[in-house]
Amino acid sequence: MNRKILNSFVWKLLERGGAQAVQVFMQLILARLLGPEILGRMAIILVFTNIFLVFIEGGFNTALIQKKKVDALDYSTVLVFSVLVSIFFYLLLYVLAPIIGNFYNDNELSTIIRILGVVLFPLGYNSIQIAYISRNQNFKPLFLSSSMSLFISGGVAVVLALNGFGIWVLVIQQIISSYLNPILLNRIIKFKVNLKFSLNRLRSMFKFGIGILAGNLIYSLYLDLRKLLIGKVYSTEDLGFYQRGELIPKSVVTNFDKVLQSIIFPTLSSLQDEHSKMKHIIKKTMEVSAFIIYPIGIGLFIVSEPLIIVILTDEWLEAVPYLRVFAITYSLWPLLSLNLQSIKALGKSDLIVKMEFTKRVVGLLLIIITLPYGPYYIALGTLIERIIELFINAYPNRKLINFTLSEQFMVTLPSLTSAIVMLIIVYPINFLTISMYYKLILEISLGIIVYLLASTQINKNLLKYFIKVLKQK
């Protein structure tokens, strides 16, 4: 990772982190106000809208980033295609809504799904905006628009929750945020696109785009399958605990991952014919990612109980085991993603589809095995799956860019070692009989100190480099 990329990475991370902090803060407030059952019902509804969003956002915005040269006609072609697809899938969602409601024995779900489905329309355009921003490596406007839209929609949601609007609080929040973000972003970046369409341009991006779309769709369907099964086989309350336990690690890590993709993918795409440089960038990015993500994941594992009690109250105590499992699970995410970036940048979308299919077969077997034992074992299944995925994602890079899994392990080992030292020293604080507030503060403070001190001995070169870049900025 060269200096320019690291600078972009650090500041994109800070900008994205600010927007995500607003979102997580609002979600936690709403969790306190609404309770597990309502959050679980909303999780089921979002599964269906999110699946159709995969078709709309699809792989064609990624194709815009991956393509070496892009002009106004490329943007407008993808936009027109996204609009047509969004109309089709809204109509499909409208027809399916009563069937979904009947399946879950919840007649209100049908009405909610039909109303919430309107979020499909603006998000296709937003994906084009993000592709434009990613190609130009200018992420500040995205931070401003997303932060403002999340703050406004979250504020409205809190007011509605205090006035007893129930699940409609979350529906209105989603709608406001999905429409406000692209409107604000467009005013900032002055992005203009017409409605011209070229079938030839769409065909030129189709092979790559359809491969990414297929991979994303397979993954989205599979990932949300767990939520659908928990909501049906067990209860929406169980699903609420499952999802709140997943919220913080998922929010931190997946947004970190989006930062990586938005910066690394365009860079790697520009180096498609220089495999040694691609390897160097991915290697250094893994090193930085491990330095940031491993202590966060293991830190969340340590503070899980006091964190849940302090933030969400004792009502959410059943979410603690899920938080611990997902804290470790999502620690692997950046490594999984980075291995895919080189494959995407090289245009190997057919390979991605094969990999996704293999991983989902493994995942489905794990779901079948763990489903009878309860939601907690389903969560454990995701951890096992991520470990298997790491091997599957890393294997092709051994030939494509000569970057083996053993090399990747050695690159990330110093940060992992420092994080384990933190775990050994800080975790015993959980056994002290002191206030949960004091326990949380003590664990976070001591954890940061121990990790940084351990890093000065185990990972000192990267730590010094990181500090130097921050000082320069």
pLDDT at 300: 95
Q: Ramachandran region of residue 190, left (φ > 0), alpha (ψ -120 to 50) or beta?
A: left
pLDDT at 262: 65
C-alpha count within 13 angstroms, C-beta hemisphere, residue 406: 0
pLDDT at 338: 81
Count, residues in the chain: 473
Q: Which residues contact 37 (CB under 8 A, 6 or more apart)?
A: 236, 237, 240
pLDDT at 238: 92
AA letter at 220: S
pLDDT at 425: 96
pLDDT at 272: 66
pTM assigned to the model:
0.75
Structure tokens at 278: 């691609």
pLDDT at 368: 93
Render each residue's pLDDT in the chain as its tens digit; 473 residues: 555 555 555 555 555 555 666 667 777 788 888 888 888 888 888 888 777 777 766 566 667 766 777 788 888 888 888 888 888 888 988 999 999 888 888 888 889 999 998 988 887 788 788 777 777 766 677 777 877 888 888 889 889 988 888 889 889 998 998 899 888 888 888 777 777 888 888 777 776 666 667 767 777 777 788 888 998 899 888 998 998 899 888 887 877 777 666 666 666 766 666 777 878 888 888 888 888 889 999 999 999 999 999 988 888 999 999 999 999 999 887 778 788 877 877 777 778 778 888 888 898 999 999 999 999 999 999 999 999 988 898 888 888 888 888 888 888 899 999 999 999 999 999 999 999 999 999 999 999 999 989 988 887 777 766 666 555 55
Q: Which residues contact 164 (CB under 8 A, 6 or more apart)?
A: none
